[in-house]
């Protein structure tokens, strides 16, 4: 398949800031002048990603790209998400960034402010990329001071993933849009009580911020960040995190320690958990799993407020501002921003593409999964992913502190008060 070129945590941050002048010999920040004959573009480039479940789809995109650019070799550089941005920051400080790489909202401002990302203006001027093809909110996530530094690849929302077979075995009715937090908790407890001897737990939820903590707090009327102030110490946030702590306490959900031993999503994939709150990026990992025929999706349960909220976010593709092979990297980034690449990604079920009017193929990639829930969530009850200039600083605080609240090691209110205090200190340093 051919595409049209015209369509076409804190310590690490300090290293990046101190080493941002290091770089390769290329300069990808100026005007773009790709030859009319794609065969004239040559060279080897790297494409860094963090999701092994999406790797086959990304390799399919690369194969499609090289049909048009036969003399460009693109190598995938896979790093687990837990180490991905630490590695990327180290590479940024030493001038060894990949040529093209996945970026996210929490890290965009840090990398862009250190001149490590190529701006998209030259691509727009050359009619290679058109920001109008992507949701405005996604363009905003990948912009700093009015300049865009990433091409939206996909967008994600959060929903309730459940295993029909497990729920039916436990005698639990399948989730509906009317479910509340209490209904979710009761269903998870029933599964754990009835099937726990078989190693099956009701909920595979843990301290994941985007999938568990943020939607719960936002649904309950709270905020994560309000301007330059943390919202973690609000009554709404405390009640939301207490909901998760209560589920862990009575065995309805896995403990943080159990999650560290075997990731909650892996448990769900293996049929060891009945339910979890999960993003649409999880679908590709379910379509090739032991439970692929038993999975479906429902809306998140309603909070005590009677509301449900989901964060909306998504991966973007960015380019190294100092790539040693600007032409090949520019051609590849242009392809990744094309409708053709979006449709291929959607058909594979890898992710929900950001390119306008290409989402239906993603919905259709798993007909029995009710994936329309993710699309409806984006338009009906989504809230922008919370970010600041150095989001990774307080994301690390979340990782360090929330486990003690979920596990019951410390009172939820005490943990969240400390988290808010330290988060405010981190935010103050950004001024």
pLDDT in tens, 180-192: 999 999 999 999 9
Tell me if 64 sits within 8 A of 345, measured CB to CB. Answer: no
Are 221 and 307 a contacting pair, CB within 8 Å? yes
Nearest CA-CA partner of 49 in 156, 153, 159: 153
Q: Tens of pLDDT along 51-70? A: 998 999 999 999 999 999 99
Q: Six-digit token pair at 92? A: 């940024």
Three-state DSSP at 73 gives: strand
For residue 281, what is the DSSP state?
Answer: G
DSSP calls for 236-257: HHHHHHHHHHHHHHTTSB--HH
Reduce the DSSP state of residue 75 to 3 states and report it: strand
pLDDT score at 26 = 58
What confidence tens digit (pLDDT) does each residue in 367-420 have?
Answer: 999 999 999 998 899 988 998 888 989 999 999 999 999 999 999 999 999 999
pLDDT digits (tens, 9 = 90+) for 6-26: 333 443 444 454 444 333 445
The domains located in the chain, with CATH, are: 10-155+313-356 (3.40.190.10), 158-312+370-428 (3.40.190.10)
Total residue length of the chain: 431
Q: What letter does residue 120 receive in the DSSP assignment?
A: S
């Amino acid at each position: 398949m051919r595409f049209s070129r015209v369509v076409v945590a804190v310590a690490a941050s300090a290293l990046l800031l101190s080493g941002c002048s290091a770089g390769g010999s290329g300069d990808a920040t100026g005007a773009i002048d790709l030859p009319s004959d794609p065969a004239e573009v040559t060279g080897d480039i790297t494409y860094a990603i963090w999701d092994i479940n999406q790797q086959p789809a990304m390799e399919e995109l690369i194969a499609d790209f090289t049909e048009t650019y036969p003399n460009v070799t693109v190598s995938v550089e896979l790093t687990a998400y837990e180490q991905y941005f630490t590695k990327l920051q180290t590479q940024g400080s030493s001038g060894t960034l990949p040529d093209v790489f996945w970026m996210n909202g929490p890290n965009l401002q840090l990398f862009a402010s250190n001149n490590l990302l190529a701006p998209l203006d030259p691509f727009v001027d050359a009619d290679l990329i058109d920001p109008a093809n992507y949701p405005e909110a996604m363009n905003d996530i990948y912009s700093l001071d009015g300049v865009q530094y990433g091409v939206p690849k996909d967008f994600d929302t959060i929903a309730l993933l459940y295993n029909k077979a497990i729920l039916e075995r436990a005698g639990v009715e399948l989730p509906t849009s009317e479910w509340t937090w209490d209904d979710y908790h009761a269903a998870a407890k029933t599964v754990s009580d009835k099937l726990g001897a078989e190693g099956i737990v009701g909920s595979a939820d843990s301290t994941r911020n985007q999938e568990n903590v943020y939607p719960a707090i936002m649904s309950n009327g709270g905020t994560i960040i309000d301007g330059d102030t943390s919202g973690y110490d609000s009554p709404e946030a405390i009640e939301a995190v207490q909901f998760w702590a209560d589920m862990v306490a009575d065995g309805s959900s896995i403990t943080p320690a159990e999650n560290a031993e075997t990731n909650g999503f892996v448990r769900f994939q293996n049929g060891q958990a009945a339910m979890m709150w999960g993003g649409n990026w999880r679908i590709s990992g379910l379509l090739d799993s032991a439970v692929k025929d038993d999975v479906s999706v429902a809306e998140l349960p309603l909070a005590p407020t009677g509301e449900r909220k989901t964060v909306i976010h998504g991966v973007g593709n960015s380019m190294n501002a100092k790539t040693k092979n600007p032409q090949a990297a520019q051609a590849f980034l242009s392809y990744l921003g094309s409708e053709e690449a979006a449709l291929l990604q959607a058909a594979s079920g890898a992710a929900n593409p950001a390119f306008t009017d290409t989402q239906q193929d993603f919905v259709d990639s798993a007909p029995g999964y009710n994936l329309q829930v993710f699309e409806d969530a984006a338009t009906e009850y989504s809230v922008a992913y919370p970010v600041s200039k150095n989001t990774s600083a307080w994301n690390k605080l979340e990782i360090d502190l929330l486990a003690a609240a979920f596990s019951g090691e410390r009172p939820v209110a005490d943990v969240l008060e400390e988290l808010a205090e330290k988060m405010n200190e981190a935010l103050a340093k950004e001024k």
